[in-house]
Amino acid sequence: MPQIITLYIVLLFIILALVMLAQRLKISYPIVLVLGGLAISFVPALPEISIDPEIIFLIFLPPLLFEAAWQTSWKDFWKWRRVIGSFAFGIVILTAGVVAVVSASVIPGFTLALGFLLGGIISPPDAVSATSIMRGVQVPKRLVAIIEGESLLNDASSLVVFRFALAAVASGTFVWQQASVSFVIVIVMGTITGLVIALIFYAIIRWLPTTPSMDTVLTLIAPYAMYITAEHFHVSGVLAVVSGGLFLSSRRYEIMNHISRLQGVNVWTTLGFVLNGLVFMFIGLELPVIVEGLGPDALPGAILYGFIISVVIIITRLLSCLGASVFTVFISRFITTADSSPGWRMPLVFGWAGMRGVVSLASALSIPLLLDNGQAFPQRNMILFITFMVILITLVLQGLTLPAVIRWLQLPDRDVVIPATQQEAIIQRKLNERTLALLDERYTTDLTQNMPLQNLRTTVQNDLRFLAAQVSPERDVSADSGHRYHTIVTELIQHKRELLHKINRKEEFDEELVRKYLTQLDLEEEKLRQRFGEETQR
């Protein structure tokens, strides 16, 4: 046990180093982590790391899904629900079918059932890789919203396909009518299960006397409760976590105070980073185990099949995205759509952003070693290797070229009528105007007697003057003024910190009280960063 703990601590340090390298190289960190894990796997002294699929599904998958659901905008999710739903269910099933036909035709000994099993494994794209790439380039907001929304649901649909294909391989029979009904039941009941569990946590957090730390712990427990309960009743645990996470996320301002929300965001951001880092590192580290199981004689053929299947899923997704654009233009004549003319550039980028990741690896590893009759599971090692090849090729090929594709196509952002900086200025101005109006209408007497309130009113008035200049035609001047203001106030905050540290060295001052003021300075600096959109200097 101490050796395992030491190994994971070393892995975490390696992950941090690789992520810093990725930031320096301006490359999506999942790509660097997979390649880094692949390189580390060839170190002779490294102990063999065998990944238990139950660990991936039970420990990693629920919190990663919940964190993604918590960060998802329900407003955007609902706006693009038709596109998200069609790709999360229809395109996943289509991709699985195409992979089934091609693999059964190309790979010796592969049946359609095994092909559907492989298709269910590699059909869902991973959003972490795509969104981490898109943060470094200018992309329309709708593209990120659709990719994130698709990733929330396609994991569930692919795992359902995988489950039915696995049963077909084990039993040797497959009844389409029964499978279709079961597919709907698993999805619907998984969603209902997640909502029921979410309502229980909603009631606990809202009406019981919880503290911010307790609220954070409850949000950590919630995804596991949703997933385990759903899987116990043989319905979709993934959809349970997604539906429950979206429900709680949309009501976080009803059930949590500001401390709980701030604390929860910090905890979940860090947890998501660590879990994603470990999973992508595991993908690279698992290669020697997969190759050893495959055997040297079968390796050249497996590499060829891996390339063929990778090309198939890339082309299938691209054609599906372009075909969906054509269908949207046609169907918009009869129903109202969010965008009646999506064009070809946005679908092309969306199709090229179909990198595979954690769910594909976990699904492949969860294939049992033996069938119910005691015989070895057919083509298991081949499926594992092809899955790894698909993950590696899509991550490296599409991941490294996606920024260039986005820059080449120069996607227009047709959803934003007002520039983001002006939106922020307008929101801040309206908030300050509302504050000033309430002070003047309701607290006139207090303003004449309460010095802090007078200072607040003066501060709000100064902010209003600054914001008025920011949205004026003389935009360049106001932008320069804002940058200079940010620089000066940041320097003032740093000097205040230094003064507080000097005060803290004196015996007569309580360190807890000094820390309170240091925290206030941190919040003030973060407010500045959010307001002016500048990177924090270290």
Domains and CATH numbers, the chain: 50-409 (1.20.1530.20), 420-532 (no CATH)
Res 50: pLDDT: 66
Of 121-125, 232-236, 452-456, 524-528, the least confident: 524-528
Question: Do 242 and 152 form a contact (C-beta atoms < 8 A)?
Answer: yes
Other CB atoms within a 10 A radius of the CB of residue 57 amount to 20
Please check the confidence at residue 127 and state whether its pLDDT lies above 80: no
Distances in Å between the alpha carbon of 441 and those of 65, 95, 139, 432?
46, 62, 44, 14
Of 118-122, 343-347, 362-366, 369-373, the least confident: 369-373
Res 101: pLDDT: 92
pLDDT interval class at 471 (50, 70, 90) = low
Please state, in angstroms and rounded to a whole number, the distance separating the CA atoms of residues 72 and 84. Answer: 13
Other CB atoms within a 10 A radius of the CB of residue 512 amount to 7
Please check the confidence at residue 203 and state whether its pLDDT lies above 50: yes
Tens-place pLDDT, residues 265-298? 889 989 988 988 888 888 788 777 788 777 777 8
pLDDT interval class at 202 (50, 70, 90) = very high
User: Could you tell me which residues come within 8 angstroms of residue 473 by beta carbon, excluding any fewer than 6 positions away?
Assistant: none
Residue 424 is inside which H or E element, if any?
helix 420-442
Question: Do 110 and 152 form a contact (C-beta atoms < 8 A)?
Answer: no
3-state secondary structure of 388: helix
Each as own residue / partner, the long-range contacts of residues 459-464 (CB below 8 Å, 24 or more positions apart, any chain) are 460/432, 460/435, 460/436, 461/436, 463/428, 463/432, 464/429, 464/432, 464/433, 464/436
What mean pLDDT value characterizes the chain? 83
Question: Do 22 and 31 form a contact (C-beta atoms < 8 A)?
Answer: yes
pLDDT interval class at 475 (50, 70, 90) = very low
Please check the confidence at residue 384 and state whether its pLDDT lies above 80: yes
DSSP state of 73: -
Give start and end residues of each alpha helix (H) in 59-111. 61-71, 74-79, 81-85, 92-106
Please state, in angstroms and rounded to a whole number, the distance separating the CA atoms of residues 40 and 48. Answer: 11
Res 375: pLDDT: 80
Which tokens go with 191?
A: 């969603």
In this prediction, residues 96-120 reach a mean pLDDT of: 91
Question: Do 223 and 271 form a contact (C-beta atoms < 8 A)?
Answer: no
Please check the confidence at residue 309 and state whether its pLDDT lies above 80: yes
Please state, in angstroms and rounded to a whole number, the distance separating the CA atoms of residues 388 and 360. Answer: 9
What proportion of the chain, given as a percentage, has pLDDT over 70? Answer: 90
Please state, in angstroms and rounded to a whole number, the distance separating the CA atoms of residues 285 and 287. Answer: 6
3-state secondary structure of 370: strand
Of 52-61, 452-461, 474-483, 487-496, the least confident: 474-483
Distances in Å between the alpha carbon of 153 and those of 157, 238, 383, 510, 521?
7, 8, 23, 51, 40
In this prediction, residues 361-385 reach a mean pLDDT of: 82
Res 469: pLDDT: 65
Looking at per-residue confidence, does 78 or 15 come out higher?
15
Q: Is this structure's pTM higher than 0.75?
A: yes
Burial class (CB in 10 A: 0-12, 13-18, 19+), 529: middle
Which tokens go with 3?
A: 């050796």
Please check the confidence at residue 476 and state whether its pLDDT lies above 50: no
Of 55-64, 499-508, 524-533, the least confident: 524-533
Question: Do 124 and 161 form a contact (C-beta atoms < 8 A)?
Answer: no
Please check the confidence at residue 252 and state whether its pLDDT lies above 70: yes
Other CB atoms within a 10 A radius of the CB of residue 518 amount to 15
Tens-place pLDDT, residues 398-451? 888 888 888 888 877 766 666 666 777 777 788 888 888 888 888 888 888 888
Please state, in angstroms and rounded to a whole number, the distance separating the CA atoms of residues 408 and 292. Answer: 41
Please state, in angstroms and rounded to a whole number, the distance separating the CA atoms of residues 326 and 324. Answer: 5
3-state secondary structure of 376: strand
pLDDT interval class at 536 (50, 70, 90) = very low
Helix, strand, coil proportions of the chain in percent (round to 5)?
80, 0, 20
Of 121-135, 142-156, 187-201, 469-483, the least confident: 469-483
Res 38: pLDDT: 85
Please check the confidence at residue 310 and state whether its pLDDT lies above 60: yes
pLDDT interval class at 537 (50, 70, 90) = very low
Looking at per-residue confidence, does 132 or 299 come out higher?
299
Burial class (CB in 10 A: 0-12, 13-18, 19+), 260: buried
* Helices then strands, each counted (H, E), the chain: 26, 0
